């Protein structure tokens, strides 16, 4: 299997194209290009030497439930020990927890490196990091001291336990309950069932700590009555050891892809002896969990981006080496050419590059907002922009990543459909992402129903200003670099698309007033698709502008020159092939009449 699963040059370029705010106020916490290079190289070494060699094996030999314990690939334990010992899990934490306050932008890059090598392997540490952040933000000092050292060392796994058999997306319906234990402040007996818990149990760690939503007895029905608890698989026995905490694994789900990490069902309190420790204040669990969920949504987007990136590089290598067919104008006897010479193959490669590199750019832009907020929690504009773009950064890579990995398979032809090459696994691994951390439909309703209306539409106005700044810079660079009309035309096309999106949003607002919220949200997924294309076009204009500027003001070497020209060509592809799709979406959104609401159930007959 090819070892090249990503381009470090592209990752560094994308990080460097963030605007000047990235360099103001030491947003990167003292990191310089040199130290960033060192961090990336160390991460790539782990990805290449530890994670990637297990990529195929973890898929072919998925976790198994054996006498109540989930057995995973034997390489997972040493991997987690390395990530813990070398400080990767603790990286974003403060010095008090042996961390280095790594900014989110760099953390996203590291997650990208790991996930391109082996998505299933990468999620173990990512889940623990997210759960540990939640404890650091809202847990008491005693809870932090109880759990964080072992979680950050890689010896204990962290999870997010929300979903129940009858309460998936609708968390207000969850029934897992918590009863206070007499004489033990903040300790509760937990009773209930959870399903689809990523890394919910496995033998690569000594314990698993579930950050779990449950309802305290007598709490208000719905989401306002939900609290957050830390529920370990094993609890301290008072003698320096651990004892079972009445957490039983009921099953390991057998999945289409993403097979290397277990997804489990859990039963809690079957013997009446499952203890959970309250995190923060009662009845505020869902608001706390949203911190982890919002971060997880960006991680899902980055995971999808990483998988599609790995598939793209596998396809690219194959297309360069596979000789088949000839140009239609070739004379008789002409030798077969590498299939990368065929226009339709180039189209498929350009689609993959447009999706993956555009997605990476958008997520790192969100990371910039996260880092600015970490330095200045009063930066309300960045907060609004991050809120607005999170559902887009989660969904566009997830949905378009499926098309991108499908195109990678197509590049291989029949070989791509077989397990001789990695792209069939990438395709299977990809499919979970539109479901994880809120389905596409949920993200769409969040964007249209909540995010666009925040502060009377201020978030969208702020985004318009961000995009207009990028448009102005593109036009200025086009003029200075004598780049012809390419940048200017792309900038003008993006300006028209913003107007399309705003007009469509106003039209849908009219639907809300005339027909009510159900009609307003009925086509929200199409609006999210339209909005996502606009956001990625913004990122491609930004990258094309930077590439043009670098070509005109510097003296790039041959390889770098080809890379920068490739950026410009891919931007041209996106604006010519992908951006026009917003026109069709606008037409549908304006003329659908919300017809799906009127279709009777009886029309869906066998």
CA-based Rg of the chain, rounded to a whole angstrom?
25
Neighbours of 119 (CB within 10 A): 28
Nearest Cα residue to 313 out of 349, 267, 367: 349
% of residues, the chain, pLDDT over 70: 98
Predicted local confidence at residue 268, as pLDDT: 98
Contact 49, 75 (CB under 8 A): no
Q: Are 177 and 167 in contact (CB under 8 A)?
A: no
Parallel, antiparallel, or unpaired: how do β-strands 226-232 and 177-180 relate?
unpaired
Residue 124 has pLDDT above 90, yes or no: yes
3-state secondary structure 142-167: HHHHHHHHHHHCCCEEEEEECCECCE
Taking the CA atoms of 165, 166, 170 and 176 in sequence, report the sign of the dihedral they define: negative
Which of the four pLDDT bands, split at 50, 70 and 90, describes residue 23? low
Pairing between strand 207-216 and 247-252?
A: unpaired
Q: Which residues have CB under 8 Å from 386's CB, separation 6+?
A: 366, 369, 370, 373
In terms of phi and psi (left: phi > 0; alpha: psi -120 to 50; beta: otherwise), the region of 230 is: beta
pLDDT in tens, 385-400: 999 999 999 999 999 9
CA 331 remoteness from chain centre: 49
How many other C-beta atoms can be found within 10 angstroms of the C-beta atom of residue 98?
16
Mean pLDDT of 464-493: 91
Contact 27, 102 (CB under 8 A): no
Per DSSP, the residues of 320-362 read: HH-B----TTPPTTPPP-BGGGSHHHHHHHHHHHHHHHHHHHH
Q: If pLDDT is split at 50, 70 and 90, which confidence band does 1 have?
A: very low
Measured distance CA(582)–CA(497) in Å, rounded: 7
Enter the tokens of residue 201: 């149990």
Instruction: Answer whether 97's CB lies under 8 Å from 135's CB.
Output: no
**Residues noted as catalytic:** 437
| Complete DSSP assignment for 456-522 | GGHHHHHHHHHHHHHHHHHHHHHHHTT-TTHHHHHHHHHHHHHHHHHHHHHHHHHHHHHH-HHHHHT
Residue listed under structure tokens 């859990």: 266
pLDDT digits (tens, 9 = 90+) for 169-213: 777 889 999 999 998 999 999 999 999 999 999 999 999 999 999
- CB-based burial, 576-597: b 16+ in 10 Å, e otherwise: eebbeebeebbeebeeeebeee
Give the residue carrying structure tokens 């010479």: 341
Q: How is residue 573 written in tokens?
A: 């592809």
Residue 223's pLDDT is 85
Is residue 2 scored above 50 in pLDDT? no
Q: Is 234 exposed, middle or buried (0-12, 13-18, 19+ CB in 10 A)?
A: middle
The dihedrals phi and psi of 155, each to the nearest 5 degrees, come to -85, -25
Interval 403-439: pLDDT, tens: 999 999 999 999 999 999 999 999 999 999 999 989 9
pLDDT at 4: 78
What does the domain layout of the chain look like in residue ranges? 457-595
pLDDT of 257:
97
> Could you read off the pLDDT of 336-347 as tens digits, one per residue?
999 999 999 999
CA distance 76 to 98: 23
Please, which pLDDT band fits residue 28 given cuts at 50, 70 and 90? confident
Mean pLDDT, the chain, whole residue set: 94
| 374 within 8 A of 28, measured Cβ to Cβ | no
Write down the pLDDT at residue 483. 62
Dist. CA 484–CA 249, nearest whole Å: 63
Of 316, 213, 201, 306, give the one whose Cα is nearest residue 261. 201
* pLDDT for 168 beyond 90: no
Determine the pLDDT at residue 512: 93
pLDDT score for 596: 92
Rounded to 5 degrees, what angle do the CA atoms 462, 465, 471 make? 150
Q: What is the DSSP letter of 265?
A: E
286-297 pLDDT, tens digit per residue, is 889 887 788 889
pLDDT over threshold 80, residue 489: yes
């Amino acid at each position: 299997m090819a070892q090249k699963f990503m381009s470090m040059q592209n990752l560094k370029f994308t990080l460097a194209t963030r605007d000047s705010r990235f360099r103001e106020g030491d947003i990167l916490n003292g990191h310089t290009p040199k130290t960033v290079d060192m961090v990336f190289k160390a991460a790539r070494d782990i990805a290449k030497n530890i994670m990637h060699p297990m990529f195929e094996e973890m898929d072919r030999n998925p976790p198994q439930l054996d006498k109540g314990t989930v057995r995973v690939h034997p390489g997972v334990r040493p991997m987690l020990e390395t990530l813990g010992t070398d400080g990767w899990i603790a990286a974003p934490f403060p010095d008090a927890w042996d961390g280095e306050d790594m900014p989110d932008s760099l953390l996203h890059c590291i997650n990208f490196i790991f996930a391109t090598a082996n998505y299933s392997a990468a999620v173990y540490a990512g889940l623990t990091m997210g759960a540990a952040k939640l404890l650091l933000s809202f847990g008491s000092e005693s809870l932090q001291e109880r759990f964080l050292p072992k979680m950050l060392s890689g010896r204990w796994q962290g999870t997010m336990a929300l979903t129940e058999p009858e309460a998936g997306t609708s968390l207000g319906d969850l029934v897992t309950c918590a009863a206070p234990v007499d004489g033990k402040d903040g300790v509760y007996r937990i009773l209930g069932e959870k399903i689809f818990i990523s890394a919910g149990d496995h033998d690569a760690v000594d314990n698993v700590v579930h950050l779990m939503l449950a309802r305290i007895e007598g709490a208000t029905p719905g989401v306002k009555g939900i609290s957050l608890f830390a529920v370990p698989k094993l609890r301290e026995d008072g003698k320096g050891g651990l004892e079972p905490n009445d957490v039983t694994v009921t099953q390991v789900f057998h999945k289409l892809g993403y097979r290397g990490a277990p997804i489990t069902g859990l039963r809690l309190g079957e013997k009446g002896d499952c203890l959970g420790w309250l995190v923060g204040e009662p009845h505020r669990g869902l608001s706390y969990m949203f911190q982890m969920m919002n971060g997880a949504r960006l991680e899902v987007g980055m995971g999808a981006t990483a998988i599609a990136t790995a598939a793209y590089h596998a396809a690219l290598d194959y297309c360069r080496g596979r000789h088949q067919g000839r140009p239609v104008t070739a004379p008789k006897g002409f030798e077969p050419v590498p299939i990368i010479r065929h226009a339709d193959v180039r189209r498929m490669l350009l689609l993959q590059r447009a999706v993956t590199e555009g997605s990476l750019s958008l997520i790192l832009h969100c990371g910039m907002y996260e880092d600015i907020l970490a330095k200045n929690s009063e930066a309300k504009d960045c907060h609004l922009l991050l809120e607005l773009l999170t559902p887009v950064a989660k969904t566009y890579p997830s949905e378009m990543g499926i098309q991108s990995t499908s195109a990678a398979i197509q590049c291989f032809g029949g070989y791509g459909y077989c397990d001789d090459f990695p792209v069939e696994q990438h395709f299977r691994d990809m499919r979970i992402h539109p479901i994880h951390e809120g389905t596409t439909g949920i993200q769409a309703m969040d964007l249209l129903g909540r995010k666009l209306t925040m502060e009377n539409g201020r978030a969208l106005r702020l985004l318009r200003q961000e995009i207009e700044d990028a448009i102005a810079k593109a036009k200025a660079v086009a003029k200075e670099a004598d780049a012809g009309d390419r940048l200017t035309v792309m900038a003008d096309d993006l300006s028209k698309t913003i107007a399309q999106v705003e007009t469509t949003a106003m039209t849908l607002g009219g639907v809300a007033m005339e027909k009510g919220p159900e009609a307003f949200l009925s086509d929200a997924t199409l609006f999210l698709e339209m909005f996502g294309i606009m956001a990625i076009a913004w990122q491609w204009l930004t990258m094309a502008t930077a590439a043009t500027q670098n070509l005109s003001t510097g003296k790039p070497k041959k390889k770098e020159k080809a890379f920068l020209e490739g950026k410009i060509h891919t931007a041209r592809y996106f604006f010519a092939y992908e951006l026009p799709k917003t026109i069709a979406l606008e037409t549908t959104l304006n003329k659908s009449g919300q017809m799906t609401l009127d279709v009777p159930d009886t029309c869906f007959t066998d």
